[in-house]
């Protein structure tokens, strides 16, 4: 646990008592603050009360009197589409609004660092798609090379549940736009911007607000090194802006999947299955990504470029990075190969909860039996229709099945209804060398409590095919 600094003896509200909220309450108490907790769910309130925390309805004026700050969980709206009533009340009483990320950055560095031979470093990864894979890959590469590493944020442990800094430690954090937007303190040493596609627009008031939230990590965080994906206009704008603002060194490493990057700066890009690092107009290293089974497809090649650039920034040699990539096992539910039955490959990409993520999965394979559907997001799968030449047949499930069927038109498809029925039909149709791909392009909440539960159900069904 990282004790929170700066609130000794002061009342601090904690809104939302899930993983990050409870960790924040514990860390505040460890630092001498007096946490006052609230959650809209009774079960969460009882769990916090059982740990000895004060429970008070923070939507009421009385509970917010004399409160210095309100720490809110990332899933709770603070601005759009409307702020939570507790946030409105806290602001009316003069409390500042922050989150666990802000508390982490104000508390991680301590006086003990003066005795360290090597200062700890913090790497932050953000983007619409690929954050978790990139974060986990960086963690794996650094561990494989012998570094002392912790991983947390939007993956693994909550940031305040991490261990205090040690000499030479590297902390790798996955950060969502929700977490970045509200954090009052941001000071990464290395920051990564992967990509941007429409998502969470109701929380950010549109694409401009969404990009502005991501941009805070760089514009206000001031990292020593920024690694920027430049395959979209927002990334190109951000990379150019950060280069112009820097006075010396190589503050920006541009990354891309699918194009060779020009110019004399530092760049890492992947083309035709090969990763290349260029500096000062010449190539300095290359890795064959086709030999990395846990990193299939162009989207994973972008993730590999980002992780490579981070590790090079932290002093790893190209060959050490290549060896780490070869042993990377991949993350569950993200283009994860979960079986091979009679020459048919089965791939779990349950994390593909929107069309952009599903697009990357479809581009990673050919001769696909595609399982799609669930609770649809705006636009459905219209943007994926140009990729149907890669798909032999589509098997539709969940609430979106009929709407997706209408969008597919004459493309071969069936409405299977459930995941079990879809897999059974795909298995019966599949021929050797084909891929049965779960990439739903939908949220899971119509039939499953989470994308993880959906992916686990798929894996269990595939395991049954083997017996």
Which residue ranges make up the annotated binding site?
127-133
Directed axis angle between helix 131-144 and helix 318-326, to 10°? 110
The shares of helix, strand and coil residues in the chain, as percent rounded to the nearest 5, are 40, 25, 40
Whether 335 and 297 have beta carbons less than 8 Å apart is answered as yes
What sign for the dihedral angle of Cα 111, 71, 219, 256?
positive
Feature table: binding site for ATP = 127-133
**Distance from C-alpha of 295 to C-alpha of 326, rounded to nearest angstrom:** 9
Q: How far is CA 199 from CA 203, 204, 205, in A?
A: 9, 9, 11
Structure tokens at 194: 């992967």
Who's near 249: CB < 8 A, 6+ residues apart? none
What is the C-alpha to C-alpha distance for residues 180 and 191, in angstroms, rounded to an integer? 12
Q: What DSSP designation does 286 have?
A: E
Residue 417 burial class via C-beta count within 10 angstroms: exposed 0-12, middle 13-18, buried 19 and up? middle
Residue 276: how many CB atoms within 10 A of its CB? Answer: 18
Return the closest-CA partner of residue 309 out of 319, 299, 318, 300: 318
CB-based burial, 344-368: b 16+ in 10 Å, e otherwise: bbbbbbbbbbbbbbbbbbbebbeeb
> Quick one: tokens of 389?
């030449």
Cis check for the bond before 370: say yes or no (omega within 30 of 0).
no
């Amino acid at each position: 646990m990282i004790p929170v600094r700066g609130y000794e003896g002061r009342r601090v509200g904690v809104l939302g008592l899930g993983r990050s909220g409870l960790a924040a309450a514990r860390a505040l108490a460890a630092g001498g603050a007096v946490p006052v907790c609230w959650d809209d769910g009774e079960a969460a309130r009882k769990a916090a009360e059982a740990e000895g925390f004060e429970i008070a309805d923070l939507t009421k004026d009385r509970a917010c009197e004399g409160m210095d700050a309100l720490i809110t969980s990332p899933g709770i709206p603070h601005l759009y589409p409307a702020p939570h009533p507790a946030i409105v009340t806290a602001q009316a009483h003069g409390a500042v609004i922050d989150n666990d990320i802000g508390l982490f950055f104000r508390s991680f560095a301590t006086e003990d660092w003066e005795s360290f031979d090597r200062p700890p470093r913090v790497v932050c990864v953000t983007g619409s798609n690929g954050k978790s894979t990139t974060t986990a890959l960086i963690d794996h590469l650094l561990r494989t090379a012998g570094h002392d590493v912790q991983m947390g944020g939007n993956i693994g442990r909550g940031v305040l549940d991490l261990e205090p800094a040690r000499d030479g430690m590297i902390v790798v954090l996955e950060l969502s736009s929700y977490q970045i937007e509200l954090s009052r303190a941001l000071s990464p040493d290395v920051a990564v911007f992967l990509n941007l596609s429409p998502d969470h627009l109701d929380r950010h008031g549109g694409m401009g607000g969404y990009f502005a939230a991501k941009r805070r990590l760089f514009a206000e965080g001031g990292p020593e090194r920024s690694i920027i994906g430049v395959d979209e206009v927002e990334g190109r704008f951000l990379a150019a802006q950060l280069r112009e603002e820097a006075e010396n060194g190589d503050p920006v490493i541009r990354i891309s999947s699918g194009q060779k990057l020009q110019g004399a700066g530092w760049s890492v890009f992947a083309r035709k299955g090969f990763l290349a690092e260029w500096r000062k107009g010449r190539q300095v290293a290359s890795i064959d990504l086709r030999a990395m089974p846990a990193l299939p497809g162009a989207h994973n090649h972008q993730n590999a470029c980002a992780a490579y650039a981070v590790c090079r920034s932290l002093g790893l040699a190209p060959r050490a990075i290549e060896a780490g990539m070869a042993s990377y096992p991949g993350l569950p539910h993200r283009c994860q190969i979960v079986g091979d039955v009679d020459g048919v490959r089965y791939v779990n990409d349950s994390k593909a909860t929107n069309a952009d993520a599903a697009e990357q999965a479809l581009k990673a394979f050919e001769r696909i039996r595609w399982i799609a559907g669930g609770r649809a997001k705006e636009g459905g799968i219209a943007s994926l229709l140009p990729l149907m030449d890669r798909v032999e047949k589509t098997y539709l499930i969940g609430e979106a099945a009929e709407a997706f069927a209408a969008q597919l038109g004459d493309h071969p498809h069936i409405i299977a209804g459930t995941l079990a029925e879809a897999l059974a039909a795909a298995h019966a149709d599949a021929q050797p060398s084909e891929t049965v791909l779960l990439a739903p392009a939908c949220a899971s909440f119509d039939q499953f409590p989470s994308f993880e539960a959906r992916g686990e159900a798929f894996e269990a069904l595939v395991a049954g095919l083997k017996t």
